[in-house]
């Protein structure tokens, strides 16, 4: 759940269904009706990038397989600054101000951290770590159309 300015609420949806063309990530605006926005797609045994041996991390592509988006954390309040350039959230704040600040920031000004596990990316230099996937941490900046 992502709280945004103007009392808007959003859900981050990570598909985890073994889609052969890749797992999808959506952002959904809460309302009646709900509105869904396609964000990203990754992996999949029949995905053209996978079949071509393409990977975001050089030299680790093993074989086409599923990818998995996992987790979404709104870090907007942690990065918010006032007009003087000072961080708005105090170090060590335990008052709940982070959630209040998160809810004041418009969705298109958000910074959301997302992790991606690429189960096709466990070859090359990563093999010495015996992984089941190479991971990536991504920073997502929404671009949601107005209503």
Per-domain boundaries in the chain: 2-140
Calpha distance 26→121 (Å, rounded): 23
**How does the average pLDDT of the chain come out, rounded?**
91
Q: Which of 129, 145, 119, 143 is nearest to 40 (CA)?
A: 143
Q: What is the pTM of this model?
A: 0.86
Residue 58: count other Cβ atoms within 10 Å of its Cβ: 8
Calpha distance 21→54 (Å, rounded): 14
Residue 19: count other Cβ atoms within 10 Å of its Cβ: 17
Tens of pLDDT, residues 21-50: 999 999 999 999 999 999 999 988 999 989
Structure tokens at 137: 């941490």
Structure tokens at 78: 């942690």
């Amino acid at each position: 759940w992502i709280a945004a300015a103007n009392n808007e609420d959003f859900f981050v949806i990570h598909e985890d269904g073994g889609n052969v063309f890749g797992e999808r990530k959506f952002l959904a605006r809460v309302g009646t009706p709900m509105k869904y926005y396609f964000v990203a797609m990754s992996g999949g045994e029949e995905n053209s990038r996978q079949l071509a041996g393409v990977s975001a991390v050089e030299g680790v592509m093993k074989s086409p397989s599923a990818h998995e988006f996992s987790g979404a954390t709104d870090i907007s309040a942690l990065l918010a600054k006032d007009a003087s350039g000072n961080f708005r959230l105090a170090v060590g704040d335990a008052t709940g101000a982070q959630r209040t600040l998160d809810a004041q920031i418009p969705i298109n000004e958000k910074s959301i951290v997302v992790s991606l596990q690429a189960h096709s990316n466990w070859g090359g230099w990563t093999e010495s770590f015996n992984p089941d996937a190479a991971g990536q941490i991504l920073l997502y900046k929404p671009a949601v159309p107005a209503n």
